[in-house]
Amino acid sequence: MTGEPVLEAIDVVKELGSGAGKVMALKGVTVALRPGELTLLMGPSGSGKTTLLSILGCILTPTSGSVRVDGQLTTGLPAEKLAMFRRDHIGFIFQSYNLFPTLSALENVRIALDVRGEKGFKAAARAEEVLRDVGLGHRLKYHPGNMSGGEQQRVAVARAIATSPSVVLADEPTAALDTENGHAVMALLARIAKEQNRSVLVVTHDPRTLPYADRVVRIEDGRIVGEERRPDGLDAPEITDLTKRRKAHV
Amino acid sequence: MVLTLAFRNLFHDRIRLAVTLVGILFSIVLVAVQLGLYLGSSRMITSNIDHSDGDLWVTTFGAKSFEDGGLLLRNGERHQALATPGVASVVPMVVAFAEWRKPSGGSTRVVVIGTDPEDGGLAPWSLIKGTWEDVRAPNGIAVDRTYLKELDIEGVGSTAQIATGRIRVKALTDGVRSFTQSPYVYMPINRARQLLGAPTDATTFYLVKVAPGADVEQVRKDLKSRLETAEVLTKAEFRDRSLTQWLFRTGAGVALIGGAFLGVLVGTVIVAQTLYSSTKDHLNEFATLRALGSSSGYIHKVILGQAGLSAVIGYVLGMIIALAAVLASHDTPLPLVMTPWLAAVLFAVTLFMCAISALSAIMKVIKIDPAMVFNR
């Protein structure tokens, strides 16, 4: 364990639908995310992964139970307050990247800063900095349509970390990528967790992501059914490789 | 970034943008034409009143407009008015319809305006040929150059006949048009009475000039109490009465204003429809913005930005066409008028129309669920 939880869900229950169609998507889930850790949330389809991700990300509110982000209780807050929480504490990465097709890579990152009220030259410089950090310094002016899937997902990662959130939540970030790009994105997320001391939660089916995990949480039928932790001191080889490559490049 | 995103969303689908702009353009041009006609008509109806120098107008009871006074006032009213405290001058004016006999046969109706500017009466304005001194010469008159063809004359020096008397064109005005389409013919008052076969003191209006320092309202009250057979109106009241008569009693103004309203309505529907479909197409992007933590106000600003940009582009294009129409209509019987005030009103109408149009799109994003970003 690497410190106090930055995001904590306690006994979270979520009911979806109504009447005869009502479904209990989460049945008392308790989970905590700590800084510097990359956690995988794995489970079969319909197990409640995305619902839990939405609740942890303050997009959905639980039917019962509580969620704390950076020590602040978010349960019961109105939609506008939850939006404020998201922009100040949480970065999102989506399976389909969800980039704005009409904006360049730089503008896609700037918009995450813009919604926080960070504008002008400073915001542009910050957006450029994070894009260079994810290896896209040569693609600043490119639009998503002119970039590969791996590059688009790296833009999405840059957008998620540009606002320096304490938590990064990723929904199937490798599902639309080939093996090489999938590894590159996971290595990037692992580096973000380690070097920037953020808490990263990745919802995934993809077994290729396992080597990058500090911890794997398994969910089935709306309940946490298991948790595995990688022994301390063991680095994922891809992280080491990436670091070496960056050093060689410099 | 709000404007950048609004601009890119707008220009992303060029065909839809074209439809939006056509909607706004159609609306602007229609409203500009209708209100331009309204203004042009108003100007024609009140131009003689606006160019007169009197503070008060003495008319016969129930005179509905400048052309509707009759020849019922006499010297008696004039003397009573002159005896009223605070009255500096009382200048008679004759206005009556008459028959203009064309030199090559046939006739048309004209409005004879008998006036003595040297005494403070109405002087024809925008003279492009000749002077009032020329008009004072025997049989002299002034008409507008745009009516030459209709009057079957060629210009200064041409002769014709009004009622039973011969006249000669001595001066030409430019742009002094009549809403009734009966051309104004200016001449000295005594010649007007003579041509109309009226008594030598027959008068349609008395233009009353109030002495410096006198209270116009008090003078008016005093005049009213003395002139039992006449009405005393301020310049503004007489303008309003003439406008009401020609624009609203005849229904012309209602039709023009109704047309303008229809233009705004059609424009609003077209813009609302295109903005709504654009918002629907970009719904996932708005949901992403919401997931990233944007306030709902931020998203509304993007939609309003799209509406505002559409308004500005549509307005500029619409005004180019509207100004071309104004130029093209200059010599027609009903010229369009465009003033800075009307241009500003049109811009405000365009912004209002686009803001109202954005409401349906905003209603759509109010219901947006940021969780939809995980469902793609």
| A55 in a structural domain | yes
How many other β-carbons are positioned within 10 Å of the β-carbon of residue A213? 25
Q: Does B168 or B257 have the greater pLDDT score? A: B168
Question: What is the CATH number for A88?
Answer: 3.40.50.300
Measure the CA–CA gap between A55 and A49, rounded to whole angstroms.
10
Confidence of residue A246 (pLDDT cuts 50, 70, 90): very low
Give how many domains chain A has, as a whole number: 1
pLDDT at A235: 52
pLDDT of residue A30: 92
Residue A1 has pLDDT above 70, yes or no: no
State the pLDDT confidence band at A240, using cuts at 50, 70 and 90. very low
Whether residue B273 lies within 8 A of chain A, CB to CB, comes out as: no
pLDDT over threshold 70, residue A224:
yes
**How far does the CA of residue B267 sit from the closest CA of chain A (Å)?**
27
What range does the domain containing A40 cover? 7-249
Taking an 8 Å cut-off on Cβ atoms, the answer to whether A94 and B371 are in contact is: no
Q: Is residue A1 situated within a structural domain?
A: no
Backbone torsion region of residue B306, taken as left when φ is above 0, otherwise alpha when ψ lies between -120 and 50, otherwise beta: alpha
Residue A239 pLDDT more than 80? Answer: no
pLDDT digits (tens, 9 = 90+) for B15-68: 878 888 888 888 888 888 888 888 888 888 899 999 988 899 999 888 888 888
Residue A209 predicted with pLDDT over 50: yes
How many angstroms separate the CA of residue A13 from the nearest CA in chain B?
17
With respect to residue A238, please indicate whether it lies within any of the assigned structural domains. yes
Q: Is pLDDT of A46 > 70? A: yes
B208: β partners: B56, B90
Q: What was the pLDDT predicted at A248? A: 47
In a domain, A229, yes or no: yes
| pLDDT tens for each residue of A49-63 | 889 998 998 888 899
Whether residue A150 is contained in a domain is answered as yes
Residue-level pLDDT at A107: 94
Residue B161 pLDDT > 80, yes or no? yes
User: Cα A67 to chain center, whole Å?
Assistant: 17
SS3 A57: coil
Kindly tell me if the per-residue pLDDT of A242 is higher than 50: no
Cβ neighbour number for residue B374 with a 10 Å cutoff: 24
pLDDT band at A241 (very low <50, low <70, confident <90, very high): very low
| Of A1-10, A175-184, A199-208, B340-349, the least confident | A1-10
The pLDDT of residue A123 is 92
Query: If residue A59 lies in a helix (H) or strand (E), which one and from where to where?
Result: none
CB contact under 8 A, A94 and B376: yes
Q: What is the pLDDT of residue B118?
A: 85
Residue A233 has pLDDT above 60, yes or no: no
Dig out the tokens for B361 from the structure.
């799109």
Does A2 reside within a domain? no
Phi and psi (nearest 5°) for B107?
Answer: -150, 165
**The pLDDT of residue B208:** 93
Radius of gyration of chain B from Cα atoms? 29
What's the mean pLDDT in B118-128?
Answer: 88
Give the pLDDT confidence of B25-36 residue by residue, as tens digits. 888 888 888 888
DSSP tag of A230: P
For testing contact with chain A, the best of B8, B9, B292 (most A CBs within 10 A): B292
Q: What is the ipTM of this complex?
A: 0.82
pLDDT at B73: 81
Per the prediction, chain B carries an average pLDDT of: 87
pLDDT single digits (tens) B292-301 = 888 888 988 9
Would you call B5 and A171 a contact, using CB atoms and an 8 Å cutoff? no
Higher model confidence: residue B329 or residue B281? B329
Q: What is the pLDDT of residue A124?
A: 92
Q: Which of A60, A90, A115 sits opposite B289 (nearest CB)?
A: A115
pLDDT grade, residue A2 (50/70/90)? low
Arithmetic mean of pLDDT over chain A: 85
Residues 6+ apart with CB under 8 A from A26: A12, A13, A14, A48, A51, A52, A55, A62, A222, A223
- Residue B40 is predicted with a pLDDT of 86
Q: What is the DSSP letter of A231?
A: P
B66-122, pLDDT tens digit by residue?
888 787 788 888 898 999 999 999 999 999 999 999 988 889 999 999 988 888 888
Residues 6+ apart with CB under 8 A from B341: none
B376 confidence band (pLDDT: 50, 70, 90): low
Percent of chain B predicted with pLDDT > 70: 99
pLDDT band at B145 (very low <50, low <70, confident <90, very high): very high
Q: Please provide residue B339's backbone torsions phi and psi, each rounded to the nearest 5 degrees.
A: -120, 160
Q: What would the 3-class secondary structure string for chain B be?
A: CHHHHHHHHHHHCHHHHHHHHHHHHHHHHHHHHHHHHHHHHHHHHHHHHHHCCCCEEEEECCCCCHHHCCCCECHHHHHHHHCCCCEEEEEEEEEEEEEEECCCCCEEEEEEEECCHHHCCCCCCCEEECCHHHHCCCCEEEEEHHHHHHHCCCCCCCEEEECCEEEEEEEEECCCCCCCCCCEEEECHHHHHHHHCCCCCCECEEEEEECCCCCHHHHHHHHHHHCCCEEEEEHHHHHHHHHHHHHHHCCHHHHHHHHHHHHHHHHHHHHHHHHHHHHHHCHHHHHHHHHCCCCHHHHHHHHHHHHHHHHHHHHHHHHHHHHHHHHHCCCCCCCCCCCHHHHHHHHHHHHHHHHHHHHHHHHHHHCCCHHHHHCC
Asked if pLDDT for residue B238 goes beyond 80, the answer is: yes
Q: Which residues of B touch A83 (CB under 8 A)?
A: 290, 293-296
Residue A240 lies in a domain: yes
Looking at per-residue confidence, does B194 or B251 come out higher?
B194
Helix A105-114 and helix A149-161: axis angle, to 10°?
Answer: 20
Contact between A100 and B288 using a beta-carbon 8 Å cutoff? yes
Angle between helix B283-291 and helix B296-328 axes, rounded to 10 deg: 140
Q: Which residues of A touch B (CB under 8 A)?
A: 50, 53-54, 57, 59-60, 79-80, 83-88, 90, 92, 94-96, 98, 100-103, 107, 110-112, 114-116, 119, 159, 171
pLDDT tens-digit profile of A144-158? 999 988 899 889 989
Asked whether residue A236 is assigned to any structural domain, the reply reads yes
Quick one: B79 exposed, middle or buried, by C-beta within 10 A (0-12, 13-18, 19+)? exposed
Q: What is the dihedral of CA A43, A45, A49, A55, to 10 degrees?
A: -170
